[in-house]
Chain A
Amino acid sequence: MAEEDVNQVTPGARVEEKLYNVRFKTDEDRSHLIVLDNQLCNRCVDKPCTVFCPVTVYKWENGEHKISVSYEKCVECGACRIGCPYFNIEWKYPKGGFGVQYKFG
Protein backbone atom coordinates (compact mmCIF):
# COMPACT_ATOMS: atom_id res chain seq x y z
CA MET A 1 0.00 0.00 0.00
CA ALA A 2 1.35 3.40 -0.98
CA GLU A 3 0.65 4.89 2.41
CA GLU A 4 2.84 2.42 4.20
CA ASP A 5 5.68 3.12 1.81
CA VAL A 6 5.68 6.80 2.69
CA ASN A 7 6.00 5.90 6.33
CA GLN A 8 8.97 3.54 5.98
CA VAL A 9 12.26 4.58 7.52
CA THR A 10 15.60 2.82 7.36
CA PRO A 11 16.26 0.29 10.12
CA GLY A 12 18.16 2.06 12.86
CA ALA A 13 16.08 5.20 12.36
CA ARG A 14 12.91 3.55 13.61
CA VAL A 15 11.30 5.17 16.57
CA GLU A 16 11.67 1.96 18.60
CA GLU A 17 15.45 2.32 18.31
CA LYS A 18 15.34 6.01 19.13
CA LEU A 19 13.38 5.31 22.29
CA TYR A 20 16.28 3.30 23.75
CA ASN A 21 17.84 6.66 24.56
CA VAL A 22 14.76 8.09 26.23
CA ARG A 23 14.28 7.67 29.95
CA PHE A 24 10.86 6.66 31.28
CA LYS A 25 9.52 5.98 34.73
CA THR A 26 6.56 3.77 33.97
CA ASP A 27 3.46 3.61 36.12
CA GLU A 28 2.95 -0.15 35.98
CA ASP A 29 -0.51 0.06 37.54
CA ARG A 30 -2.37 2.35 35.22
CA SER A 31 -2.41 3.60 31.66
CA HIS A 32 -2.87 7.35 31.41
CA LEU A 33 -4.31 6.88 27.89
CA ILE A 34 -7.59 5.07 27.38
CA VAL A 35 -9.36 4.39 24.10
CA LEU A 36 -12.97 4.77 25.10
CA ASP A 37 -15.03 2.98 22.46
CA ASN A 38 -13.71 0.22 20.18
CA GLN A 39 -16.78 0.48 17.99
CA LEU A 40 -15.77 3.99 17.02
CA CYS A 41 -12.26 2.82 16.12
CA ASN A 42 -13.77 0.10 13.93
CA ARG A 43 -15.66 2.76 12.02
CA CYS A 44 -12.78 5.25 11.97
CA VAL A 45 -11.57 4.93 8.39
CA ASP A 46 -8.00 6.27 8.50
CA LYS A 47 -7.23 5.52 12.14
CA PRO A 48 -5.00 8.62 12.21
CA CYS A 49 -3.76 7.97 15.76
CA THR A 50 -1.73 5.05 14.38
CA VAL A 51 0.10 7.46 12.06
CA PHE A 52 0.54 10.85 13.73
CA CYS A 53 1.68 9.66 17.15
CA PRO A 54 5.41 10.47 17.12
CA VAL A 55 6.26 7.29 19.03
CA THR A 56 3.53 4.98 17.60
CA VAL A 57 1.78 4.25 20.85
CA TYR A 58 -1.38 3.22 18.97
CA LYS A 59 -1.56 0.13 16.81
CA TRP A 60 -4.53 -1.36 15.05
CA GLU A 61 -4.81 -5.03 15.98
CA ASN A 62 -6.46 -6.59 12.98
CA GLY A 63 -7.41 -9.87 14.62
CA GLU A 64 -8.88 -8.25 17.71
CA HIS A 65 -10.53 -5.34 15.88
CA LYS A 66 -9.21 -2.83 18.34
CA ILE A 67 -6.47 -0.32 18.98
CA SER A 68 -3.71 -1.43 21.33
CA VAL A 69 -2.15 1.28 23.49
CA SER A 70 1.55 1.05 24.46
CA TYR A 71 1.20 3.88 26.95
CA GLU A 72 4.63 3.19 28.47
CA LYS A 73 6.38 4.84 25.50
CA CYS A 74 4.15 7.93 25.34
CA VAL A 75 6.15 11.18 25.42
CA GLU A 76 3.04 13.16 26.49
CA CYS A 77 2.95 15.55 23.56
CA GLY A 78 -0.86 15.72 23.56
CA ALA A 79 -1.36 15.28 19.81
CA CYS A 80 -3.76 12.33 20.18
CA ARG A 81 -5.91 14.37 22.54
CA ILE A 82 -6.54 16.80 19.70
CA GLY A 83 -6.04 14.61 16.63
CA CYS A 84 -8.53 11.77 17.20
CA PRO A 85 -11.47 12.87 15.07
CA TYR A 86 -13.93 11.30 17.52
CA PHE A 87 -12.30 12.51 20.76
CA ASN A 88 -12.18 8.82 21.58
CA ILE A 89 -9.02 8.97 23.65
CA GLU A 90 -9.25 9.80 27.33
CA TRP A 91 -6.01 11.64 27.97
CA LYS A 92 -4.54 12.29 31.38
CA TYR A 93 -1.07 13.08 32.60
CA PRO A 94 0.79 10.15 34.09
CA LYS A 95 0.88 10.18 37.88
CA GLY A 96 3.18 12.92 39.26
CA GLY A 97 6.86 12.11 38.67
CA PHE A 98 6.02 9.28 36.23
CA GLY A 99 6.16 9.08 32.46
CA VAL A 100 8.85 10.51 30.20
CA GLN A 101 11.91 12.06 31.87
CA TYR A 102 13.91 13.99 29.37
CA LYS A 103 17.66 14.36 29.95
CA PHE A 104 18.22 17.34 27.60
CA GLY A 105 14.83 18.71 26.46
Chain B
Amino acid sequence: MKRLKRRTLSEANLAATDRFDVVVVGAGLAGTAASYLLAKAGLSVLCVERGEDPGTKNVMGGILYRQPTEKILPGWWKDAPVERPIVEERIWLVTPDSMVQGGFRSARYGEEPYNAFSVLRVKFDKWFADQAVGAGAVLVTDTVVEDVLRENGRIVGVTTGREQGDVHGDIVIAADGVNSLLSKKAGLHPELAPHQVALVTKEIINMSREKIEDRFLLNANEGATIEVFGDSTMGMLGYGFIYTNRDSLSIGVGALLSDLIKKKINPNVLMEHFKSHPMVKRLLEGGEAKEYMAHLIPEGGAASMPPVYRQGMLVVGDAAGLSNPIYREGSNLALMSAKFAAQVCVEAHERGDFSAEMLSRYQTLLDESFIMDDLRGYSKTSSFFQGKPQFLERYPEILVDALHEFLTVDNVPKRAKQRRILRQVLSRRAPWELARDAVGALRALT
Protein backbone atom coordinates (compact mmCIF):
# COMPACT_ATOMS: atom_id res chain seq x y z
CA MET B 1 0.00 0.00 0.00
CA LYS B 2 1.12 3.52 -0.78
CA ARG B 3 2.52 5.17 2.33
CA LEU B 4 0.70 8.43 2.84
CA LYS B 5 2.60 11.39 4.06
CA ARG B 6 0.88 13.36 6.73
CA ARG B 7 0.71 17.10 6.49
CA THR B 8 2.44 18.33 9.58
CA LEU B 9 1.81 22.03 9.75
CA SER B 10 4.55 24.36 10.84
CA GLU B 11 3.68 26.92 13.48
CA ALA B 12 3.27 29.60 10.83
CA ASN B 13 0.80 27.83 8.60
CA LEU B 14 -1.24 26.53 11.53
CA ALA B 15 -2.20 30.15 12.06
CA ALA B 16 -2.70 30.75 8.34
CA THR B 17 -5.20 27.93 7.87
CA ASP B 18 -6.83 28.54 11.18
CA ARG B 19 -10.45 27.77 10.33
CA PHE B 20 -11.94 24.32 10.01
CA ASP B 21 -15.43 22.90 9.95
CA VAL B 22 -14.46 20.54 12.76
CA VAL B 23 -11.48 20.44 15.12
CA VAL B 24 -10.85 17.00 16.60
CA VAL B 25 -8.73 16.78 19.75
CA GLY B 26 -6.76 13.53 20.02
CA ALA B 27 -5.72 11.04 17.35
CA GLY B 28 -6.66 7.90 19.28
CA LEU B 29 -9.31 5.51 17.99
CA ALA B 30 -12.25 7.86 18.41
CA GLY B 31 -10.51 10.99 17.15
CA THR B 32 -9.07 9.36 14.08
CA ALA B 33 -12.34 7.62 13.23
CA ALA B 34 -14.23 10.92 13.43
CA SER B 35 -11.56 12.71 11.37
CA TYR B 36 -11.65 10.02 8.71
CA LEU B 37 -15.45 10.04 8.37
CA LEU B 38 -15.70 13.82 8.35
CA ALA B 39 -12.96 14.21 5.74
CA LYS B 40 -14.68 11.60 3.58
CA ALA B 41 -17.92 13.52 3.88
CA GLY B 42 -16.13 16.55 2.49
CA LEU B 43 -15.81 18.66 5.64
CA SER B 44 -12.54 20.37 6.50
CA VAL B 45 -11.08 18.67 9.57
CA LEU B 46 -8.10 19.35 11.76
CA CYS B 47 -7.01 16.62 14.16
CA VAL B 48 -4.59 17.65 16.90
CA GLU B 49 -2.49 15.06 18.75
CA ARG B 50 -0.08 15.74 21.61
CA GLY B 51 2.16 12.72 20.93
CA GLU B 52 5.10 12.72 18.57
CA ASP B 53 3.09 10.28 16.46
CA PRO B 54 -0.47 9.02 16.86
CA GLY B 55 -0.36 6.06 19.24
CA THR B 56 2.79 6.89 21.21
CA LYS B 57 0.71 7.85 24.27
CA ASN B 58 -1.84 5.06 23.99
CA VAL B 59 -2.22 1.74 25.77
CA MET B 60 -4.75 -0.98 25.10
CA GLY B 61 -4.89 -4.73 25.87
CA GLY B 62 -5.57 -4.77 22.96
CA ILE B 63 -8.25 -6.71 21.23
CA LEU B 64 -9.79 -4.80 18.36
CA TYR B 65 -13.07 -6.11 16.98
CA ARG B 66 -13.50 -6.67 13.28
CA GLN B 67 -17.15 -5.79 12.81
CA PRO B 68 -17.36 -2.49 14.73
CA THR B 69 -14.16 -1.26 13.11
CA GLU B 70 -15.66 -2.07 9.71
CA LYS B 71 -18.39 0.50 10.44
CA ILE B 72 -15.62 3.04 9.92
CA LEU B 73 -13.32 1.35 7.42
CA PRO B 74 -14.70 -1.71 5.59
CA GLY B 75 -12.02 -4.35 5.10
CA TRP B 76 -9.61 -2.53 7.44
CA TRP B 77 -8.00 -5.73 8.67
CA LYS B 78 -6.63 -6.59 5.24
CA ASP B 79 -4.23 -3.65 5.33
CA ALA B 80 -3.92 -2.70 8.99
CA PRO B 81 -0.99 -3.80 11.14
CA VAL B 82 -2.78 -6.45 13.19
CA GLU B 83 -0.97 -9.03 15.30
CA ARG B 84 -3.08 -12.22 15.36
CA PRO B 85 -6.75 -13.07 14.71
CA ILE B 86 -8.22 -14.39 17.97
CA VAL B 87 -9.55 -17.94 17.70
CA GLU B 88 -9.81 -18.79 21.38
CA GLU B 89 -10.91 -16.86 24.46
CA ARG B 90 -10.30 -18.27 27.91
CA ILE B 91 -11.41 -17.21 31.35
CA TRP B 92 -9.51 -18.29 34.42
CA LEU B 93 -10.66 -18.07 37.99
CA VAL B 94 -7.58 -18.43 40.15
CA THR B 95 -6.67 -19.00 43.79
CA PRO B 96 -3.01 -18.83 44.82
CA ASP B 97 -2.27 -22.38 43.68
CA SER B 98 -5.20 -23.49 41.49
CA MET B 99 -7.29 -22.46 38.57
CA VAL B 100 -10.75 -23.12 37.16
CA GLN B 101 -10.88 -22.60 33.42
CA GLY B 102 -13.55 -21.86 30.87
CA GLY B 103 -13.17 -21.04 27.22
CA PHE B 104 -14.48 -20.89 23.71
CA ARG B 105 -12.64 -21.75 20.53
CA SER B 106 -13.95 -21.72 17.01
CA ALA B 107 -12.25 -22.55 13.73
CA ARG B 108 -14.62 -20.01 12.21
CA TYR B 109 -12.74 -17.28 14.04
CA GLY B 110 -9.58 -18.38 12.27
CA GLU B 111 -11.09 -17.70 8.84
CA GLU B 112 -11.90 -14.56 6.94
CA PRO B 113 -13.43 -12.19 7.82
CA TYR B 114 -12.43 -13.08 11.41
CA ASN B 115 -13.93 -11.84 14.66
CA ALA B 116 -11.22 -9.91 16.50
CA PHE B 117 -7.51 -9.20 16.36
CA SER B 118 -4.79 -8.43 18.84
CA VAL B 119 -3.16 -5.08 18.01
CA LEU B 120 -0.42 -2.84 19.36
CA ARG B 121 -1.69 0.71 19.48
CA VAL B 122 1.54 2.46 18.55
CA LYS B 123 1.54 0.67 15.20
CA PHE B 124 -2.19 0.62 14.70
CA ASP B 125 -2.91 4.27 15.52
CA LYS B 126 -0.23 5.48 13.16
CA TRP B 127 -1.69 3.44 10.33
CA PHE B 128 -5.23 4.49 11.18
CA ALA B 129 -4.25 8.16 11.22
CA ASP B 130 -2.65 7.73 7.79
CA GLN B 131 -6.06 6.64 6.49
CA ALA B 132 -7.66 9.81 7.85
CA VAL B 133 -4.94 11.95 6.29
CA GLY B 134 -5.39 10.04 3.03
CA ALA B 135 -9.07 10.97 3.12
CA GLY B 136 -8.15 14.65 3.46
CA ALA B 137 -7.98 15.35 7.19
CA VAL B 138 -5.18 17.58 8.42
CA LEU B 139 -3.20 16.06 11.27
CA VAL B 140 -0.98 18.07 13.56
CA THR B 141 1.14 16.14 16.04
CA ASP B 142 3.46 17.28 18.88
CA THR B 143 0.73 19.69 19.93
CA VAL B 144 -1.26 19.89 23.15
CA VAL B 145 -4.73 21.43 23.01
CA GLU B 146 -4.83 23.59 26.13
CA ASP B 147 -8.37 24.89 26.20
CA VAL B 148 -11.45 25.62 24.19
CA LEU B 149 -11.57 28.96 22.45
CA ARG B 150 -14.54 31.06 23.51
CA GLU B 151 -16.24 34.07 21.99
CA ASN B 152 -19.14 35.60 23.91
CA GLY B 153 -19.45 32.40 25.94
CA ARG B 154 -19.67 30.26 22.81
CA ILE B 155 -17.13 27.59 21.94
CA VAL B 156 -15.56 28.53 18.62
CA GLY B 157 -12.42 26.39 18.49
CA VAL B 158 -9.39 25.48 20.57
CA THR B 159 -6.19 27.03 21.83
CA THR B 160 -3.02 24.98 21.46
CA GLY B 161 0.37 25.06 23.13
CA ARG B 162 1.89 26.66 20.04
CA GLU B 163 2.57 30.32 19.36
CA GLN B 164 -0.41 31.84 17.59
CA GLY B 165 -1.94 28.47 18.11
CA ASP B 166 -5.64 29.39 18.19
CA VAL B 167 -7.72 27.38 15.74
CA HIS B 168 -11.32 28.12 14.88
CA GLY B 169 -13.83 25.38 14.21
CA ASP B 170 -17.63 25.26 14.10
CA ILE B 171 -17.54 22.13 16.22
CA VAL B 172 -14.87 20.78 18.56
CA ILE B 173 -14.82 17.02 19.12
CA ALA B 174 -13.14 16.08 22.40
CA ALA B 175 -11.55 12.69 21.69
CA ASP B 176 -8.83 13.21 24.28
CA GLY B 177 -9.19 9.98 26.22
CA VAL B 178 -10.00 9.07 29.80
CA ASN B 179 -8.39 12.11 31.42
CA SER B 180 -10.22 14.49 29.04
CA LEU B 181 -8.95 17.77 30.42
CA LEU B 182 -10.73 19.50 27.55
CA SER B 183 -14.25 18.52 28.50
CA LYS B 184 -13.47 19.68 32.04
CA LYS B 185 -12.25 23.02 30.69
CA ALA B 186 -15.49 23.27 28.72
CA GLY B 187 -17.42 22.78 31.95
CA LEU B 188 -18.92 19.44 31.00
CA HIS B 189 -17.08 17.23 33.39
CA PRO B 190 -16.46 17.34 37.09
CA GLU B 191 -13.33 15.43 38.17
CA LEU B 192 -13.61 11.64 38.23
CA ALA B 193 -13.42 9.91 41.61
CA PRO B 194 -10.96 7.08 42.42
CA HIS B 195 -13.75 4.48 42.36
CA GLN B 196 -14.70 5.53 38.83
CA VAL B 197 -11.42 4.51 37.21
CA ALA B 198 -9.24 1.41 37.07
CA LEU B 199 -5.47 1.82 36.96
CA VAL B 200 -3.93 -0.79 34.69
CA THR B 201 -0.29 -1.66 34.07
CA LYS B 202 0.78 -3.62 31.04
CA GLU B 203 3.98 -5.19 29.79
CA ILE B 204 5.15 -6.45 26.44
CA ILE B 205 7.02 -9.75 26.74
CA ASN B 206 8.94 -10.81 23.65
CA MET B 207 8.71 -14.46 22.68
CA SER B 208 9.26 -16.49 19.50
CA ARG B 209 6.24 -17.30 17.37
CA GLU B 210 6.74 -21.03 17.72
CA LYS B 211 6.89 -20.81 21.48
CA ILE B 212 3.70 -18.72 21.60
CA GLU B 213 1.88 -21.15 19.31
CA ASP B 214 3.03 -24.18 21.33
CA ARG B 215 2.18 -22.73 24.69
CA PHE B 216 -1.23 -21.44 23.70
CA LEU B 217 -2.09 -24.44 21.46
CA LEU B 218 -2.44 -22.34 18.33
CA ASN B 219 -2.01 -22.93 14.62
CA ALA B 220 0.45 -20.65 12.86
CA ASN B 221 -0.53 -16.96 13.15
CA GLU B 222 -3.61 -17.62 15.29
CA GLY B 223 -4.13 -15.83 18.59
CA ALA B 224 -5.69 -16.44 21.99
CA THR B 225 -6.80 -14.38 24.96
CA ILE B 226 -6.93 -15.20 28.66
CA GLU B 227 -8.82 -13.10 31.20
CA VAL B 228 -7.86 -13.88 34.79
CA PHE B 229 -10.13 -13.22 37.76
CA GLY B 230 -9.64 -13.93 41.45
CA ASP B 231 -6.35 -13.94 43.33
CA SER B 232 -4.73 -12.15 40.36
CA THR B 233 -5.87 -8.79 41.77
CA MET B 234 -4.98 -9.27 45.45
CA GLY B 235 -8.57 -8.91 46.56
CA MET B 236 -9.17 -5.71 44.60
CA LEU B 237 -11.88 -5.27 41.98
CA GLY B 238 -10.29 -5.79 38.59
CA TYR B 239 -8.71 -8.49 36.45
CA GLY B 240 -5.60 -9.58 34.65
CA PHE B 241 -5.17 -10.47 30.99
CA ILE B 242 -2.73 -12.20 28.68
CA TYR B 243 -3.05 -11.75 24.91
CA THR B 244 -0.89 -13.16 22.14
CA ASN B 245 0.74 -10.84 19.62
CA ARG B 246 2.76 -11.95 16.60
CA ASP B 247 6.03 -12.33 18.49
CA SER B 248 5.22 -11.05 21.94
CA LEU B 249 2.66 -11.35 24.71
CA SER B 250 0.68 -8.48 26.17
CA ILE B 251 0.18 -9.00 29.89
CA GLY B 252 -1.75 -6.58 32.02
CA VAL B 253 -3.54 -6.27 35.33
CA GLY B 254 -5.64 -3.52 36.80
CA ALA B 255 -7.77 -2.64 39.77
CA LEU B 256 -9.98 0.22 40.85
CA LEU B 257 -7.82 3.17 41.88
CA SER B 258 -9.87 3.42 45.07
CA ASP B 259 -8.98 -0.19 45.95
CA LEU B 260 -5.27 0.38 45.29
CA ILE B 261 -5.42 3.40 47.59
CA LYS B 262 -7.34 1.57 50.28
CA LYS B 263 -5.12 -1.51 50.22
CA LYS B 264 -1.95 0.56 49.74
CA ILE B 265 -0.70 -1.57 46.90
CA ASN B 266 1.65 -0.30 44.24
CA PRO B 267 0.55 -1.19 40.67
CA ASN B 268 3.93 -2.68 39.76
CA VAL B 269 3.69 -4.90 42.82
CA LEU B 270 0.27 -6.02 41.64
CA MET B 271 1.80 -6.78 38.23
CA GLU B 272 4.56 -8.85 39.82
CA HIS B 273 2.01 -10.69 41.94
CA PHE B 274 0.06 -11.56 38.80
CA LYS B 275 3.17 -12.61 36.88
CA SER B 276 4.29 -14.86 39.71
CA HIS B 277 1.09 -16.93 39.81
CA PRO B 278 2.24 -20.49 38.97
CA MET B 279 -0.06 -20.78 35.92
CA VAL B 280 0.88 -17.36 34.59
CA LYS B 281 4.60 -17.72 35.25
CA ARG B 282 4.69 -20.88 33.15
CA LEU B 283 3.32 -19.01 30.14
CA LEU B 284 5.85 -16.20 30.41
CA GLU B 285 8.93 -18.33 30.99
CA GLY B 286 11.89 -17.40 28.78
CA GLY B 287 10.18 -14.22 27.52
CA GLU B 288 11.93 -10.89 27.53
CA ALA B 289 10.24 -7.78 28.95
CA LYS B 290 10.22 -4.98 26.39
CA GLU B 291 7.97 -2.23 27.70
CA TYR B 292 6.12 -1.27 30.88
CA MET B 293 3.07 0.97 30.64
CA ALA B 294 0.21 2.34 32.73
CA HIS B 295 -3.18 3.75 31.76
CA LEU B 296 -6.58 4.48 33.28
CA ILE B 297 -9.89 2.94 32.20
CA PRO B 298 -13.23 4.66 32.92
CA GLU B 299 -15.16 2.28 35.17
CA GLY B 300 -18.35 3.95 36.21
CA GLY B 301 -20.62 3.06 33.28
CA ALA B 302 -23.56 5.30 32.45
CA ALA B 303 -23.80 6.63 36.01
CA SER B 304 -20.51 8.51 35.79
CA MET B 305 -20.76 9.78 32.24
CA PRO B 306 -20.47 13.52 31.73
CA PRO B 307 -22.88 15.38 29.46
CA VAL B 308 -21.56 14.51 26.00
CA TYR B 309 -22.54 17.64 24.07
CA ARG B 310 -22.99 21.38 24.38
CA GLN B 311 -23.06 24.23 21.93
CA GLY B 312 -20.07 23.79 19.62
CA MET B 313 -18.77 20.62 21.21
CA LEU B 314 -19.15 16.82 21.28
CA VAL B 315 -17.36 14.32 23.53
CA VAL B 316 -16.52 10.82 22.23
CA GLY B 317 -14.81 7.59 23.34
CA ASP B 318 -13.07 7.29 26.69
CA ALA B 319 -13.41 11.05 27.18
CA ALA B 320 -17.16 10.45 27.46
CA GLY B 321 -16.63 7.50 29.81
CA LEU B 322 -17.72 5.02 27.14
CA SER B 323 -16.20 1.77 28.28
CA ASN B 324 -17.40 -1.65 29.34
CA PRO B 325 -14.30 -3.31 30.74
CA ILE B 326 -15.94 -6.45 32.08
CA TYR B 327 -16.67 -7.38 28.46
CA ARG B 328 -13.34 -5.95 27.32
CA GLU B 329 -15.12 -3.32 25.26
CA GLY B 330 -13.83 0.20 24.78
CA SER B 331 -12.39 0.42 21.29
CA ASN B 332 -15.74 -0.44 19.71
CA LEU B 333 -17.57 2.18 21.80
CA ALA B 334 -14.95 4.78 20.89
CA LEU B 335 -15.38 4.00 17.19
CA MET B 336 -19.19 3.92 17.23
CA SER B 337 -19.46 7.13 19.22
CA ALA B 338 -17.13 8.75 16.69
CA LYS B 339 -19.37 7.59 13.90
CA PHE B 340 -22.44 9.10 15.57
CA ALA B 341 -20.56 12.32 16.28
CA ALA B 342 -19.41 12.58 12.66
CA GLN B 343 -22.96 12.00 11.43
CA VAL B 344 -24.27 14.82 13.64
CA CYS B 345 -21.44 17.16 12.56
CA VAL B 346 -22.38 16.59 8.91
CA GLU B 347 -26.05 17.36 9.63
CA ALA B 348 -25.12 20.43 11.67
CA HIS B 349 -22.80 21.63 8.91
CA GLU B 350 -25.54 21.29 6.30
CA ARG B 351 -27.89 23.41 8.40
CA GLY B 352 -25.25 25.81 9.66
CA ASP B 353 -26.57 25.14 13.17
CA PHE B 354 -24.10 24.34 15.94
CA SER B 355 -26.40 24.93 18.87
CA ALA B 356 -26.69 22.59 21.84
CA GLU B 357 -30.12 21.61 20.58
CA MET B 358 -28.80 20.53 17.21
CA LEU B 359 -25.86 18.67 18.75
CA SER B 360 -28.11 16.89 21.25
CA ARG B 361 -28.89 14.57 18.32
CA TYR B 362 -25.62 12.88 19.26
CA GLN B 363 -26.93 12.01 22.71
CA THR B 364 -30.08 10.64 21.10
CA LEU B 365 -28.07 8.44 18.76
CA LEU B 366 -26.06 7.07 21.70
CA ASP B 367 -29.26 6.51 23.69
CA GLU B 368 -30.91 4.61 20.87
CA SER B 369 -27.90 2.36 20.27
CA PHE B 370 -26.52 -0.63 22.16
CA ILE B 371 -24.00 1.68 23.79
CA MET B 372 -26.20 3.28 26.43
CA ASP B 373 -28.11 0.08 26.98
CA ASP B 374 -24.87 -1.74 27.79
CA LEU B 375 -23.45 1.08 29.88
CA ARG B 376 -26.54 1.34 32.06
CA GLY B 377 -26.07 -2.37 32.69
CA TYR B 378 -22.40 -1.85 33.43
CA SER B 379 -23.15 0.78 36.10
CA LYS B 380 -25.27 -1.83 37.82
CA THR B 381 -22.58 -4.48 37.51
CA SER B 382 -19.70 -2.36 38.73
CA SER B 383 -21.59 -0.92 41.68
CA PHE B 384 -22.75 -4.40 42.73
CA PHE B 385 -19.26 -5.90 42.79
CA GLN B 386 -17.63 -2.91 44.52
CA GLY B 387 -17.06 -3.66 48.18
CA LYS B 388 -17.78 -7.39 47.74
CA PRO B 389 -14.32 -9.00 47.88
CA GLN B 390 -15.92 -12.41 48.48
CA PHE B 391 -16.37 -12.74 44.72
CA LEU B 392 -12.64 -12.46 44.12
CA GLU B 393 -11.33 -14.27 47.18
CA ARG B 394 -13.73 -16.46 49.15
CA TYR B 395 -15.88 -17.79 46.31
CA PRO B 396 -12.97 -18.83 44.07
CA GLU B 397 -11.48 -20.62 47.08
CA ILE B 398 -14.74 -22.37 47.91
CA LEU B 399 -15.09 -23.46 44.29
CA VAL B 400 -11.50 -24.67 44.05
CA ASP B 401 -11.78 -26.62 47.30
CA ALA B 402 -15.03 -28.22 46.16
CA LEU B 403 -13.43 -29.27 42.87
CA HIS B 404 -10.39 -30.56 44.74
CA GLU B 405 -12.63 -32.68 46.92
CA PHE B 406 -14.64 -33.91 43.99
CA LEU B 407 -11.73 -34.74 41.68
CA THR B 408 -9.40 -36.26 44.24
CA VAL B 409 -9.85 -40.02 43.94
CA ASP B 410 -9.69 -41.45 47.44
CA ASN B 411 -12.20 -44.28 47.65
CA VAL B 412 -14.87 -42.15 49.33
CA PRO B 413 -18.34 -42.87 47.90
CA LYS B 414 -19.58 -40.09 45.59
CA ARG B 415 -22.66 -39.39 47.70
CA ALA B 416 -20.55 -38.94 50.82
CA LYS B 417 -18.26 -36.63 48.87
CA GLN B 418 -21.18 -34.47 47.73
CA ARG B 419 -22.40 -34.19 51.31
CA ARG B 420 -18.92 -33.30 52.48
CA ILE B 421 -18.59 -30.61 49.81
CA LEU B 422 -21.95 -29.12 50.75
CA ARG B 423 -20.98 -29.08 54.43
CA GLN B 424 -17.71 -27.38 53.59
CA VAL B 425 -19.41 -24.72 51.50
CA LEU B 426 -22.02 -23.98 54.14
CA SER B 427 -19.45 -23.79 56.91
CA ARG B 428 -17.75 -20.97 55.06
CA ARG B 429 -20.75 -18.96 53.93
CA ALA B 430 -24.26 -18.95 55.36
CA PRO B 431 -27.01 -20.17 53.00
CA TRP B 432 -28.76 -16.80 53.04
CA GLU B 433 -25.51 -15.04 52.15
CA LEU B 434 -24.93 -17.42 49.28
CA ALA B 435 -28.47 -16.95 48.04
CA ARG B 436 -28.28 -13.18 48.32
CA ASP B 437 -24.95 -13.00 46.47
CA ALA B 438 -26.07 -15.44 43.79
CA VAL B 439 -29.27 -13.52 43.07
CA GLY B 440 -27.42 -10.20 43.26
CA ALA B 441 -24.70 -11.34 40.88
CA LEU B 442 -27.23 -12.68 38.42
CA ARG B 443 -29.15 -9.43 38.47
CA ALA B 444 -25.98 -7.37 38.15
CA LEU B 445 -24.74 -9.35 35.17
CA THR B 446 -27.96 -9.64 33.20
Contacts and interface: CB of A to CB of B under 8 A. Distances in A.
B355 interface: no
A15 interface: yes
Contact of A9 (B261, B264, B268): B268
A9 B274 CA distance: 12
Given A7-B269, A93-B144, A103 B291 contact: yes
Given A46-B264, A97-B52, A103 B199 contact: no
Given A18-B203, A95-B161, A82 B289 contact: no
Interface stretch (B120-128, B326-334, B431-439): B120-128
Given A18-B289, A21-B289, A77-B294, A7 B266 contact: yes
B255 to A, nearest CB: 10
Interface stretch (B16-24, B35-43, B53-61): B53-61
A97 B293 contact: no
Interface stretch (A33-41, A49-57, A64-72): A49-57
A9 B141 contact: no
A15 B52 contact: no
Contacts of A15: 268, 292
A52 B266 contact: yes
Interface in A58-99: 75-79, 81-83, 87, 93, 95-97, 99
Nearest to B165: A96
B265 A95 contact: no
B325 interface: no
B56 A96 contact: no
A105 B264 CA distance: 26
B292 A22 contact: yes
Contact of A101 (B56, B197, B264, B268): B56
Contacts of A96: 50, 141-144, 160-162
Interface in B132-148: 141-144
B343 interface: no
B111 interface: no
Contact of B296 (A13, A19, A78, A100): A78
Contacts of B257: 52, 79, 82-83
A97 B141 contact: yes
Interface size on B, as a range, is 35 or more
B293 A21 contact: no
Contact of B260 (A52, A56, A81, A95): A52
B197 A3 contact: no
A58 to B, nearest CB: 11
A99 to B, nearest CB: 8
B179 interface: yes
A93 B181 contact: yes
A7 B289 contact: no
State the main secondary structure of chain A at its contact with B: loop
A46 B52 CA distance: 36
Contacts of B141: 96-97
Contact of A3 (B50, B62, B264, B275): B264
B178 interface: yes
Nearest to B122: A105
Nearest to B234: A6
A3 B269 CA distance: 12
Contact of B55 (A7, A9, A13, A105): A105
A52 B179 CA distance: 17
Interface stretch (B188-196, B221-229, B309-317): B188-196
B287 to A, nearest CB: 13
Given A82-B194, A101-B56, A54 B142 contact: no
Contact of A13 (B197, B272, B295): B272
A48 B261 contact: yes
B64 to A, nearest CB: 12
Contact of B265 (A7, A21, A77, A78): A7
Contacts of A97: 50-52, 141-143
Given A75-B294, A77-B296, A104 B204 contact: yes
A5 to B, nearest CB: 10
Interface centre among B162, B203, B261 (most CB of A within 10 A): B261
Contact of A21 (B51, B181, B291): B291
B293 A102 contact: yes
Contacts of B121: 102, 104-105
A105 B142 contact: no
A54 B291 contact: no
B291 A79 contact: no
25 contacts: A7-B265, A9-B272, A10-B272, A21-B290, A25-B52, A51-B260, A51-B264, A52-B199, A53-B266, A54-B268, A55-B294, A77-B199, A77-B295, A79-B199, A93-B181, A96-B142, A97-B50, A97-B51, A100-B56, A101-B52, A102-B55, A102-B56, A102-B59, A104-B123, A105-B120
The 10 closest A-B pairs by CB, nearest first: A97-B142, A105-B121, A54-B294, A18-B292, A105-B122, A54-B267, A78-B179, A96-B143, A77-B294, A96-B142
